[in-house]
Amino acid sequence: MATSTAAVLSPPSVAGLRLAPSPRGRALFRPASSPARRSVAARAALEPSVVISLSTGLSLVLGRFVFFNFQRENVAKQVPAQNGKTHFDAGDVRAKEFAGILKSNDPVGFNIVDVLAWGSIGHIVAYYILATTSNGYDPTFFSG
């Protein structure tokens, strides 16, 4: 009887990340007559890791091969100027861009800023897809 009292009063031991089976009696904690419980878990309509990977990859490919020239042309038009000169040419030595972060070995110059921007767009699109497919959203509900 002394071993069973010591087993009941001993703290649970940990093996790895799971609780190790305790020497305590398991019959002590069973309810008298409880109905069988079924585990109900929310299931995603699509596999989230696949959707996020494909969406991010697609947006990076689109940004690199489709929209890159369009993006660079629009950025070149938006150079701030005063009296027809850029700020750097007008004498503001702190207006020059730090070129070290924009260096790239890519042939067209797709750099870390572009990767972060297009990757975040891909993640946004992926989370939108996952959110709308897993909550029962029906886009044809409003048409017709």
Model pLDDT, residue 9: 61
What does the alpha-carbon distance between residue 120 and residue 56 come to, in Å, rounded to a whole number?
A: 8
Nearest C-alpha neighbor of 114 from the set 55, 77, 78, 62: 62
Residue 13 · residue 22 · CB < 8 Å: yes
Supply the DSSP symbol for 98.
Answer: -
Place 107 in a pLDDT band, splitting at 50, 70 and 90.
confident
The percentage of the chain sitting over the pLDDT mark of 90, rounded to a whole number, equals 24
Place 63 in a pLDDT band, splitting at 50, 70 and 90.
very high
Nearest C-alpha neighbor of 126 from the set 47, 33, 65: 47
Instruction: Assess whether pLDDT exceeds 70 at residue 125.
Output: yes
For the stretch 66-95, pLDDT in tens is 998 888 888 778 767 777 777 677 777 776
Residue 76: C-alpha distances to residues 85, 93, 117 (Å)? 14, 19, 18
Containing 143, the helix (H) or strand (E) segment is none
**What average pLDDT does the segment 53-65 reach?**
95
Write out the two tokens for 106: 């890519």
Residue 74: C-alpha distances to residues 48, 77, 143 (Å)? 34, 5, 36
